[in-house]
Amino acid sequence: MWLELEYLPASLFSFKDINATNTAATSLLIPTPFGVKMGLISICIQRYDIEKARELFNLIKGMKINFKLPREMVVNKTFGRINDLRQKTGRSKPGYREYVYAKGSLKIACDISGFAETDVSLLKILFRGINYFGKKGSFMQFKGVTLLEKLDEGYIKLMGKDDFTAGRSIIQFTEDIPPEATFEDINIYDSDNSLKRVNNKQMHIVNLENALSGDGYQYYKICSG
């Protein structure tokens, strides 16, 4: 059983690739499963309390998440100047950034097999409260939620886990919560613990119908099935 959430991107999306540097930050086309789960935990703390968030963490830590992209996406490639706080000089330096325009809805599917009805109800409430994924300003408008028995072929595949047909495609390097992680590890206010990001990398395969590029942009038409 899957819980499918639909969001309409309300602004340009940006989510730094896990392999990107600070000065050359390419963007993913999707939020990572890690980012989605942290969004749920953040809303849970705001709506309830830290103990409720701790319970939620244990519930969703191993939850499988998949994505269905909008039909058309354009990556805008820009250069600007960023402050390098590590140097503590106040000087800025050139930085490369990407911002993604999406035409259509982003769908996020969560595997809720074995979840209690109260757990599913909680997830529905929390997902309604999320209004951005990725970099702040990457606003998303919640549109609806659906229960599905199985996902359609438009959902992107996970390399090594799902069967997929080879063709024109791009890879999105994402990350999830490591299996051995604890709530204290993800708590940025806990200086005694830190998250060890090992055994948590994933590669999502995005099949394309078409791809075009020009000066400062990259256009993708996503396979719908």
- 117-171 tens-digit pLDDT: 999 999 999 999 999 988 878 999 999 999 999 999 899 988 876 666 667 899 9
**pLDDT exceeds 80 at position 88:** no
- 20-49 tens-digit pLDDT: 776 778 899 999 999 999 999 999 999 999
Residues found in the chain: 225
CATH of the domain at 105: 3.30.70
In the chain, what is the straight-line distance between the N-terminal and C-terminal CA atoms, in Å?
A: 20
- Is residue 16 within 8 A of residue 135, CB to CB? The reply is yes
The contacts of residue 119 (CB under 8 Å, 6+ apart) are 59, 112
What pTM was computed for the model? 0.89
Please report the pLDDT score of residue 20 as a whole number: 73
- Is residue 100 within 8 A of residue 220, CB to CB? The reply is no
How many domains does the chain divide into?
1
pLDDT band at 225 (very low <50, low <70, confident <90, very high): low
Distance CA 78, CA 90 (A): 22
- Is residue 4 within 8 A of residue 66, CB to CB? The reply is no
Please report the pLDDT score of residue 175 as a whole number: 92
DSSP per-residue codes, 36-82: HHHHHHHHHHHHS-HHHHHHHHHHHTT--EEEE--SEEEEEEEEEEE
Return the half-sphere exposure (C-beta side, CA atoms, 13 A cut-off) of residue 120: 18
Average pLDDT over the chain, rounded to whole? 88
Distance CA 224, CA 210 (A): 12
* Domain span holding position 161: 2-222
- Is residue 181 within 8 A of residue 61, CB to CB? The reply is yes
pLDDT band at 87 (very low <50, low <70, confident <90, very high): low
CA-wise closest residue to 205 among 148, 151, 153: 153
